[in-house]
Amino acid sequence: MAAGDAAARDDGLEFWFDFSSPYAFFAAREVEAMAARVGRRARWRPFLLGALFPKTRMAPLTQQPLRGTYGLRDWARQARRHGVRFAIPDFFPVAAQAPSRMFLHLEQADPERAVPFARAQFAALFSDGIDISRPEAAAAVGARLGLDETALLDAAGDPALKQRLRDQTAEAEARGVFGAPFFFADGEPFWGADRLAMVEDWLRSGGW
Amino acid sequence: MAAGDAAARDDGLEFWFDFSSPYAFFAAREVEAMAARVGRRARWRPFLLGALFPKTRMAPLTQQPLRGTYGLRDWARQARRHGVRFAIPDFFPVAAQAPSRMFLHLEQADPERAVPFARAQFAALFSDGIDISRPEAAAAVGARLGLDETALLDAAGDPALKQRLRDQTAEAEARGVFGAPFFFADGEPFWGADRLAMVEDWLRSGGW
């Protein structure tokens, strides 16, 4: 991942996620506080994990034998531990294009609102059972935060943002991302929500 | 995993491992101290992870695209962090039958020596580059601990111990084990070396 290292170093801390990933949902609740503890800001980077499956030879976790069953149990107990409402909706997994493009739009148009928007999308999907793959649903979640609903809907269909999401997904692939969430901490890759403490140690210590 | 829960509860804390798993090597260095902190003893349970691949549809980590590269990097940094000599030998992955059968023999014949034997096998493989799939090599590692080398060699070829290892691997499969290390904490399944802290919390709190 030498090329990835060089590209990432300027970004400091990157949090790569797919809106359809339960582990990314849990990480999304923690990453901002973790970054603050080490004096960093996390750059949130949506991508489409499913687009990488041909290369990673993986499948959605819930469709994997044994791991899928374990995942359901693991998510439920993580939710209980943190007092979070959580359920895998009937329509899971979802296609994350619409909320991802809206996020990329906000990142340019209203950067301070992008992360709250992303957290609201995660909560809508996993706490409230809202199908955020539907642009109207994702935009309505944004509207509840006071964002411009029409602009969000436009973003979901914007060819430039579609390309940007494709490019970002290609970047993930090029840098060796194979799951979500995935972190780069000063270029060092970390996979999984249960590596947040290690990412924090890495950033605090400067690596080892 | 309801059936597994019932079967496991009497055992309290189980540490399932394959001698060929680097993550199990790292967990093996920590699990005894973790268990002691919560007033438990870990029951070490060798099994053959490769025998489960047809069911889990997985492959040795080093042979998986992207994850394999990441694994090599992750093991190296974990080793640096803990000051442990570590290298993936040329002959990796190894077949764990010989040391696993020897462990099962010691479990009956000299139970207090079984865990030190297992830790020595892990260190031989990952710190010293010894091919412990060879019965003679595994027995020689045991002999350095003062164990009866001939009895260990006999164990590697003992039909009853062969069957016992097959049965233990079948038990792992029946209880939903799909990776190594794998823990059951009062019946609750946890996968991965990076879940040791969660296992500890679970045991300390009685679960949640």
Q: Does A205 touch chain B (CB under 8 A)?
A: no
Of B64, B77, B194, the CB nearest to A208: B77
* Cβ-Cβ contacts under 8 Å, A208 against chain B: 77, 80-81
Q: Which of B199, B207, B189, B202 is nearest to B32 (CA)?
A: B199
Q: Does B53 touch chain A (CB under 8 A)?
A: no
Its ipTM equals 0.89
Q: Look up the pTM and report it.
A: 0.91
pLDDT of residue B9: 36
Per the model's pLDDT, the better-predicted residue between B105 and A53 turns out to be B105
pLDDT of residue A9: 36
* Cβ-Cβ contacts under 8 Å, A186 against chain B: none
Cα nearest neighbour of B61 on chain A: A56
Question: N- to C-terminal Cα distance for chain B?
Answer: 17
Q: Does A84 touch chain B (CB under 8 A)?
A: no
Condensed to tens digits (0 to 9), the pLDDT of residues B157-174 reads 999 999 999 999 999 999
Condensed to tens digits (0 to 9), the pLDDT of residues B73-125 reads 999 999 999 999 999 999 999 999 999 999 999 999 999 999 999 999 999 99
- d(C-alpha B191, C-alpha B17), whole Å: 11
CB-CB under 8 Å, B176 with A66: yes
- d(C-alpha B197, C-alpha B201), whole Å: 6
CB-CB under 8 Å, A194 with B194: yes
CB-CB under 8 Å, A195 with B70: no
Q: How does the average pLDDT of chain A come out, rounded?
A: 92
Secondary structure (H, E, C), chain B: CHHHHHHHHHHCEEEEECCCCHHHHHHHHHHHHHHHHCCCCEEEEECCHHHHHHHHCCCCHHHCCCHHHHHHHHHHHHHHHHCCCCCCCCCCCCCCHHHHHHHHHHHHHCHHHHHHHHHHHHHHHHCCCCCCCCHHHHHHHHHCCCCCHHHHHHHHHCHHHHHHHHHHHHHHHHCCCCCCCEEEECCEEEECHHHHHHHHHHHHHCCC
CB-CB under 8 Å, B66 with A55: yes
- d(C-alpha A119, C-alpha A129), whole Å: 14
φ, ψ of residue B110 to 5 degrees: the values are -155, 65
CB-CB under 8 Å, A55 with B65: yes
Confidence of residue B177 (pLDDT cuts 50, 70, 90): very high
Q: How does the average pLDDT of chain B come out, rounded?
A: 92
Confidence of residue A66 (pLDDT cuts 50, 70, 90): confident
Query: Angle at Cα A79 formed by Cα B38 and Cα B15, nearest 5°?
Result: 35
Tell me how close the Cα of B20 comes to any Cα of chain A, in angstroms. 20
Tokens describing residue B178:
């799909």
For strand B182-185 and strand B13-17, is the pairing parallel, antiparallel, or unpaired? antiparallel
Residue B78 neighbours by CB under 8 Å, 6+ apart: B26, B84, B86
Task: Answer whether residue A78 shows pLDDT above 50.
Answer: yes
pLDDT of residue B11: 58
Task: Answer whether residue B56 shows pLDDT above 90.
Answer: no
Q: Does A55 touch chain B (CB under 8 A)?
A: yes
